[in-house]
Amino acid sequence: MTQVKNVIKDNYNMMLLNDFLREKIKDAGFNGMEISKTPTGTKIVLHVTRPGIVIGRKGTGIKELTEKIQTDFGYKNPQISVEEVQKPELSPSVMCNRMASHIERGTAFRRATMWTMNQIMEAGAMGVQITISGKLRGDRSAFEKHTQGVLPRAGNYAKNIVTEDIVHTETPMGLIGIRIRIAKKEKIIPEFEHDKEKSVATEDIDESKEKKIVAKTESEHIKIEEEKMKTLETLEEEEAKLK
């Protein structure tokens, strides 16, 4: 029983640390962590979109984070390293946080959903599903599910190539939950590949696009997206034009 209790305690402590890091380094685009015990202490690898924010000037940020993890979460001699996420748009955790930030700033949930789905598919995903639930329009709770592309639902394909994350955000109407599931092409088995010509055409289009403005933080990225999002038409707006 002692071993079982230790496992439960470690998992609970890891969950608390994950929630802490999600909020603490939110502006660095937190994507997850890996923890492993070593003879000299605890190795913690942080996956973020902007490593410079975590490291800080002359390493002050990572030193402060190390001390906080050691004192508040009890990890012995934590050794933190930071790895950059190459494609943030294919990370469910990053995209959940971005979509939640848009909704917190007053963007309509359907517009934020459409924008997020488009960003994920343009980044090269095989498929995406976004489920949003809570006080969306009135006093009664509701949920909506939106899907693009191919997204395996069960079996080894779903287990191996689909990643997901869930985040909750407070709005004036109440609590809203966001769940994003992304199927990645690079993880599929060769015989399951589809529509190669379409993916090549998409890459050609991406190369012809103008250079994007590089944001230094996630907050700056959200602001840039808000301006671009204004040009996006929702289903309600298209229906209004037809009337």
Q: Is the pLDDT of residue 27 over 50?
A: yes
Average pLDDT, the chain: 82
pLDDT tens digits, 202-239 = 444 444 444 556 677 778 888 887 777 777 766 566 55
Rounded Cα gap, residues 145 and 48, in angstroms = 27
pTM attached to this predicted model: 0.75
pLDDT tens digits, 86-125 = 888 999 999 999 999 999 888 888 999 999 999 999 999 9
pLDDT tens digits, 124-165 = 999 999 999 998 887 788 889 999 998 888 777 778 889 999
Q: Is the pLDDT of residue 5 over 90?
A: no
Which of 95, 64, 61, 98 shows the shortest CA–CA distance to 165?
95
DSSP string across 33-97: EEEEEETTEEEEEEEES-HHHHH-GGGHHHHHHHHHHHHHH--SSEEEEEEE-S-GGG-HHHHHH
Domains annotated on the chain, with CATH? 2-84 (3.30.300.20), 88-242 (3.30.1140.32)
